[in-house]
Amino acid sequence: MKLTLAFLMLLFLSACSIGSTVMTGPATDPMEVTKVSIVYQAPACDFETVANIDISGGYFSRASLIDGFRERAGALGASIVQVLYIQTIGSNEYFGSARALRCH
């Protein structure tokens, strides 16, 4: 019974943030999440794309989805997240896509 409950908890937690991160450049040392900037247009600097991030659900506010993008980008050493799109699923779940960028 305890093993089944533990398995169900693990399954539930893994479903909270479904998505993918496709690396397109080198990862570097992780960056503090609070230092990762959010932009909606390409930045004015000469930049490289570190990864494309797709999150297909599990976030219940726009702000928490953006924080999810920032966490993934920061873990790869990217200093900027360019939000490409955000949509809602039903009435209160969000999904979207972003790029993790690093200025040169």
Q: What is the pLDDT of residues 32-46, one digit of tens each?
A: 999 999 999 999 999
Write out the two tokens for 19. Answer: 């998505």
Closest C-alpha among 60, 69, 71 to residue 39: 69
Domain that holds residue 45: 17-103
Amino acid in position 11: L
Number of domains into which the chain is organized = 1
Using one digit for the tens of pLDDT, what is the confidence trace for 47-99? 999 999 999 988 999 999 999 999 999 999 999 999 999 999 888 899 999 99
In a domain, 12, yes or no: no
Cβ atoms within 10 Å of 65's Cβ, excluding its own: 25
In a domain, 11, yes or no: no
Contact 96, 58 (CB under 8 A): no
Which residue intervals of the chain are DSSP H helices?
2-15, 62-75
> What does the alpha-carbon distance between residue 63 and residue 76 come to, in Å, rounded to a whole number?
20
Residue 22 has pLDDT above 70, yes or no: yes
Q: What is the pTM for the complete model shown?
A: 0.79
- What is residue 73's predicted lDDT score, i.e. its pLDDT? 97
In a domain, 2, yes or no: no
In a domain, 5, yes or no: no
